[in-house]
Each structure stands twice: as C-alpha cells, then as structure tokens.
Structure 1
Amino acid sequence: MIKKLPQFPIERLSEILNRPKNFKLLERIPLTYNEQRWPLQLSKSVGDDLPIIILDVETTGLSVINESIIELAMVKAKYSPSEKRIVSILDVMSMYEDPGKPIPSFITELTGITDKIVQGKHIDDILIANWLDDYPLIVAHNAQFDRPFFEKRFNSLTNYRWACSATGIDWQTLGFQGRKLEYLLLQLGWFYEGHRAITDSLALTWLLYSLPQSVENLLYEANCKTVLIRAIGAPFNVKEQLKKRGYRWHNSAVNKYWWREINEQVLSEEKIFLDNLYDCGSKYADYDYKDATERFKI
C-alpha cells in the first residue's frame, strides 16, 4: 500500500532552532487538505482568463491497448495568458471505473486502489464532456501516457489542445535537475502523498501556481509547432549517437525506427545532424508536423 509519511519530530524543535541550516522544512500542499473547498481564487484576475484542465489518470497497467483507466481526476481552473499564471480553481473531480478485471497487485501497492473501491463504478461520460465544453487547454504531467488512455476511453473527445508539464517545460533552465512531479515540489518546499490521480492533479496545479515561470514556458511550448522525426533507414552503427541526441527506438510488428520530436524552429539543424551522421539521413527521414491538438496521440 501507499507508504505512510513519518510524523513531524516535534521533540527535535530545540535542535532545529539551534542548527537551522542543517534542516529543511517541508509543508503539505494546501490544495490537498481534506477541508479544502472550491472554487478557490489564487491570484487577482486581470480579465483575460482562459480555461485550463489539469488531468491525471490511474490505470491497470502501462499498455494503452490492453489496460484501462481506473481513476480519472481533473482540476478545472483559469489561467491568464498575459500574466502567465494560474488565477483560480473552479472545481475538482475524481471518478473511479471498474475495469472488468482484477487490478494487478503492483497497481494496488502503488496507488492504494483496490477491486473493492472500483467495483461497479463507472465514469460519467456526459459529465466529462460538460467539463470540457469550453474547449480548455488540457495539461498532464505525462501527456504521452495520459492522452492515449483518455482518448481510448472517451473517443469522441479527441480534438482538444494538450500540453505536457514534464516535457513541455525546460526544468533545467529553471534550476531543477529532474522533472518528476514529487521532486519538483520537494525542491520548492512542498510535499504530498502521490500516486493517486486526484492528489497528483492538485499537486501539479500547485506547482504551476507556485512557479509562474513554468506556466510561461508551458504556454510557449503549447503554442509552438513540433516535428516528429522518424530516422528511417538509420544504420545500426549510429544507434548510440541517436540515443545521445534524444532519439527513442520504436519497435512494432509493422515497422522499426528511431524517432524524436523537436520544435519546428530547429528542424534545419536536425537535418544537418542526420546528414552528417549517415548518408542522405535527412532525405530518407519522415517528418510529421504537429500542433497541440495532435501531440501525444497514439
């Protein structure tokens, strides 16, 4: 089951006061308090607020083909495109769904979600569609995972703009050495009990609110066009160079290739890299241009 956090060592308060440089204080994210109510105004509105959904799913496994959603959580919020910040949280929802098969034990260990919790439960399709009727930007911390599962389950809700807070924000430039949600918040002095869709989505909302630069970065990336490059015909002996460059291996029964998704603005540079790596590399490569409505699909 989910690991319990240790109690705060009140008996060591005098020690902390005497040696404050040797300790670091972590505070629970306020949005995750049980008594929190919605709506919640986070900052002053300047009148240009737009809708945003922060979304997370828990599933029975990693394969979108073979596995299913068991929990869907969404935070309905507003953001200011001019101020580059989260302005308010309008509502929060979490729903369970019975996958029709036993939940693997490792999923229960990770999330705490049991067969008993989801038994007979069903996500309300009409409610989900109503939550998205103002065409919000949908943000997930691993959109490459969440979007395919969401669109498999709700196959009429596939035309929305998606952004990924893990890959769509330059966390290194912002001073972080990783991009895991828990790590990012710990570095800012916050903690939460993760691996539940509702808690993770609230934690991501708090991260974006606490670090306005991340919102600015995310909105910029969401509005850019990207290019999915498939390095068709790349010889075996260049695989290490491709991996170092950020390419990933696609291995299916139909085709196999190295691929990478980049900002359209640096495509010319990437073509030069491929040509220098192997003969006619850019000529034989395949290019798939995408915007926020097309990224992270299956």
Structure 2
Amino acid sequence: MPAARMWRAAASVVVALATGVLVASPASAQEQAQDKAQQPAPVGRYVAMGDSYTAGPLVPIQTGKPVGCLRSTNNYPALVAKGLAVTTAQDVSCSGATTANLAGPQRTGLGTNAAQLDALGPDVSLVTLGIGGNDIGFVSIVAECATRSPLKPTGAACRDHYTGTGSDELATRIDATAPRIAAALAAVTARAPQAHVLLVGYPALLPDTGDGCFPFVPFSAGDVDYLRGVEQKLNTMLADQAAAAGVDYVDTYTPSIGHDMCADHGVRWIEGLIPTSPAAPAHPNAAGMRGMADAVLGALAPSSNVA
C-alpha cells in the first residue's frame, strides 16, 4: 500500500475501549489540609461546551446522548466536576462541533446534539468552552498533511500546499474564526451572566521544538514546524478573544509540552494517527484529559470567583 494511503487509513483507526485502575498512597493530614486550602470555591451548576477535545472520543467510558458525540466519563469536564463541589454538571460537548453548533443543532452519525448554548441559564455559575479547531478544518488538515508529507519526507509538502498561493490559507482561516469566537463568548456571557467563563485552548499535538518523529507521525520536519506554528496561532487567537471578552483563557499547551504525540507511550497525552491507548487519532487520551482538567482547575484555584 502506498505510504500516503497507509497514513490516510491510519487517521481513521478505531481503538477498542479499555479501563485501568490507579492506586495512590494515602496523603498525610498536612498534605490533605494543603490540598483543601488550594481547592476552588464550590460551584452550583457547571456547563461544559465544546468539540472533541472536550468530549474525549474513544476515551473510556463513552457515555451520554446522542451517542454520536462520543463523550467520555473521563474527559476533562467530568474530571473538573469531580474536583469541584459541583451541585449539577452538564456536558453538552460534541465531537466535530464548530462554533455554528453552539447556537444550532449538530447532526452526528448517531443522533442530533441540541444547540449547546441552550444548556445555559442565569443559574449557571461555571462554563468551560473549548472550540475553534473544527472551524479551521482540523480533520481535513490532518488528513491532507498525512497524505502529502510522506511524499516529501525531507521537504514540507503540507506547508507548500497551504502557502503555495503566496498567502497562508490556515492563518487566514484562523483570522476568519476570531469573530466567531468573539460572538460565541458574547452569547455565553449573555445567557449565563453570573457564570465564571473559561475558554480552554488546545494542548500541544506536536513537539514544541525539534523535527518530530517521522515516520511514526508521518509529518516531515518542515511540516512539523509549520503545523506547530498553526496551532500556536490558533491558541494565541483564542487567548486574545478571551481577553477581549473579559473571560479567562486556560492554557493547556504549556503543561502538555513533552507529552505530544511523539512522546513515549505512557508519557504522551496526545495519541498519534495509530493510537496505542484508547483515544481517537490525534486526540487526547485519558492522561491528556487529566492534564487538561488540571489546567482548568489550576485556573480556578488561585482566585476563584465562582459561587
């Protein structure tokens, strides 16, 4: 099978679900007291919104309706809810969601997800939102690069494809997504005026430095550098829009450095195009969801205004 077809096929690999048990040694009374002092304030009603990086496709155990949203009981919203004194938690995230699916329904292969904004109301005290990747075409970008890059492993075929007209098509897509993020945040704050709103960024998919790990991840060094820059531009745009809207931005990129899809099994938070842990290709595994949850909880802990 040609390399391009092999990697395109790899991008759609489905991994069987599995479960694991982690046994921790009991903490001392002093450690427990310190942990309690650092915990965020109690939360009344928490609503989680977003795309697959929120939902956690194929991370055990899949739950919720519609089934096609591929939500996990161990995605970061579930872990955040466990880490807080949440009265009610509602996860309306859905794999494949774009900003359009915040205000309108989203059809999946197995059911329709209602407009995510419909979950909000004046009684909501905490909202997390992770969105934007599908607006710039995340799935098509991965598929395109997985097809083109192996054909020129010492070049940058994917970068050349997106910049060959003299402008950067993906940078243009990010710029076009910015007003959609602004509108989404305005709608969230209007519908949940008492809520602490957090816009959650994307973790590092590729190494923060270096050439990548071709052929395990089938992107040439030149394309790794280009795609790394694309993700950083996307996260910068999200941070800028959060600041403009007066909401908090959660940086999940920095804590995930060294845990990208090129990291060793057991270290990586993001699975490669052929996952070795239960997760969708190029998506967070259970450890990645834990890392993202810790980033959200860390953003809440220092000076939480949630009540």
- Give the TM-score category using the shorter length: 0.3 to 0.5
Superposition TM-score, scaled by structure 1 size: 0.33
Larger Rg: 1
Q: Which structure has the highest helix share of the two? A: 2
Tell which has more relative contact order, 1 or 2 (C-alpha 8 A, sep 6+): 2
Q: TM-score, normalised by structure 2?
A: 0.32
Higher strand share: 1
